[in-house]
Amino acid sequence: MKVEQIYTGCLAQGAYYIHDNGEGAIIDPLREVSPYIKRAEKDGVKIKYIFETHFHADFVSGHVTLAEKTGAPIVYGPNANPSFEAHLAKDGEIFPLGNLQIKVLHTPGHTMESTTYLLLDENGKEQAIFTGDTLFLGDVGRPDLAQKAEDMTQEDLAGTLYDSLREKIMPLPDEVMVYPAHGAGSACGKNMMKETVDTLGNQKQMNYALRADMTKEEFIKEVTDGLLPPPAYFPLNVKLNKEGYESIDKVLSEGLKQLTPDAFEMVVNQTEALMLDVRKPADFAKGHIPNSIFIGLDGSFAPWVGELIVDVQQPILFIAPEGREEEVVTRLARVGFDNTLGYLKGGIEAWAASGKEVDTVNSVPATDLENGHKETQAAIFDVRKESEYLSERIMEAKNTPLSELNNHLAEFPKSKAFYVHCAGGYRSMIAASILKSRGYHNLIDVQGGFKAIKQTGIPLTDYVCPSTL
């Protein structure tokens, strides 16, 4: 018996590969399925099942493509109603896998089809649970994502989740391993631990939602309190996971077209494609195509694309470091952005060499903010999340969170210089690119963000632990 967690940090997502005696199962696969197939072939394993814990909102699963390529059935729990062929399992149903068994535990609450898969060894002993978004480490799945589809309130779903945890999960032995679908950084929960695997016994001690003395009313209040609005692209990903999607092979074929600067410009004009620059923040600052938007690959790329671009049908052209073009198209497709039309061959260097206009971002060290602000008293805008801002900040800085930037445009001065910063420089460059595309060219980006600012003498508020806010 072997259980392998295949964790993707950008999405804070865990897929699982289980195999025994030549038979294998994949749980919650990513969109690009070739690695699973190649791995199974290398191990001499036939993929027998594709298990889905629920209709995912934050990424497009590879279930449809993997089923087409392997012939393995897609398995959902009760209440699922996909548009494609799938096996809808009954609560308690058993799936043999080599000498092992996988038992279906219907655990509604995050969504009504949410299901946990219990792994039993050759002696029928409980070994592990694959909980999807029902149970995370340190948290549980948010109960507000499916409320419209299910015609239930988030309180209704939270109450259902309470019952699922106490009837199906908590009675299991403490030594059972917990394998969740997500870890810290995912928007599917609030307080996830940085660890990605734990024992159920430890979760009963550490996870607030598994307190033995917690009433249903207390659970509902704690689980629903402080929920931020989900990213706008979530319902679109659910739709793709429920109804099906294009093969990743076709998406890659379309998205990896090389375009000369002239061809790139022509496609932009013909399609109104968004120009997405995925290089490093410093490279974007030094030179970029006017009106292009920066979202760097070396960061939470896919979640920010989904958060800020929203429309998965938006045509996209991109500028990328050489050799990372396929990575860009793949990571876009993971969150449902399939309409990638190609990339700029030769990058910004080729664009500049062809005589086309290049723009820059005025990006300065934090020491320049310290000195410049004393002289000019220019406005400072902090694009971190509200919780980060409230925990510690520059005293006179205004909070304009990146995810809500469009709601704050009227606050930015059009004619006077102003500073923009985040925690480390990634989000502020995204904000700078959006602001410049809206006509705000008088901004100054602070390199290194708040981390660098704290090394200066700029007056800050007293630190408040975010968990107490």
Q: Do 173 and 95 belong to one domain? A: yes
For tokens 């199962």, the residue is 25
Q: What is the mean pLDDT of residues 234-261?
A: 94
Alpha carbons 469 and 388: distance in angstroms, whole number? 10
Domain that holds residue 384: 363-468
Given this model, what pLDDT does residue 149 score?
Answer: 66
Q: How confident is the model at residue 45 (pLDDT cuts 50, 70, 90)?
A: very high
317 contacts 231 by C-beta, under 8 angstroms: no
Given this model, what pLDDT does residue 145 score?
Answer: 86
Given this model, what pLDDT does residue 142 score?
Answer: 93
Amino acid symbol at 14 = G
Given this model, what pLDDT does residue 323 score?
Answer: 97
Q: What is the mean pLDDT of residues 346-364?
A: 98
31 contacts 333 by C-beta, under 8 angstroms: yes
Q: Is residue 15's pLDDT more than 90?
A: yes
Q: Do 223 and 255 belong to one domain? A: no
Kind plus residue range of the DSSP H or E element containing 382: strand 379-382
Indicate the residue among 353, 387, 415 that finishes a domain.
353
Given this model, what pLDDT does residue 385 score?
Answer: 94
The b-or-e profile of 377-405 (16+ CB within 10 A means b, else e) is: ebbbbbbbbeebbebbbbeebbbbbbbeb
**Residue 358: inside a domain:** no
Indicate the residue among 293, 323, 353 that finishes a domain.
353
Q: Do 348 and 403 belong to one domain? A: no
Q: What is the mean pLDDT of residues 13-20?
A: 97
Q: Do 222 and 323 belong to one domain? A: no
Q: Is residue 202's pLDDT more than 80?
A: yes
Q: Is residue 468's pLDDT more than 70?
A: no
Given this model, what pLDDT does residue 469 score?
Answer: 58
Q: How confident is the model at residue 226 (pLDDT cuts 50, 70, 90)?
A: confident
**Residue 267: inside a domain:** yes
Tell whether the torsion through CA atoms of 310, 312, 314 and 320 is positive or negative: positive
Write the pLDDT tens digit of every residue in 110-137. 999 999 999 999 999 999 999 999 999 9
Task: Please report, for the domain that includes residue 259, its CATH number.
Answer: 3.40.250.10
Kind plus residue range of the DSSP H or E element containing 57: none
Q: Do 152 and 13 belong to one domain? A: yes
458 contacts 373 by C-beta, under 8 angstroms: yes
Per the prediction, the chain carries an average pLDDT of 94
Write the pLDDT tens digit of every residue in 403-441. 999 999 999 998 899 999 999 999 999 999 999 999 999
Q: Do 229 and 180 belong to one domain? A: yes
Query: What is the tally of structural domains in the chain?
Result: 3
**Residue 241: inside a domain:** no
Indicate the residue among 323, 353, 383 that finishes a domain.
353
Q: What is the mean pLDDT of residues 335-347?
A: 96
Given this model, what pLDDT does residue 377 score?
Answer: 83
Q: What is the mean pLDDT of residues 166-185?
A: 95
DSSP codes of every residue in 16-75:
EEEEETTEEEEES--S--HHHHHHHHHHT-EEEEEE-SS--SSS--SHHHHHHHH-PPEE
Q: Is residue 190's pLDDT more than 80?
A: no
Write the pLDDT tens digit of every residue in 366-387. 999 998 877 778 999 999 999 9
Q: Do 289 and 215 belong to one domain? A: no
150 contacts 238 by C-beta, under 8 angstroms: no
For tokens 């210089």, the residue is 417
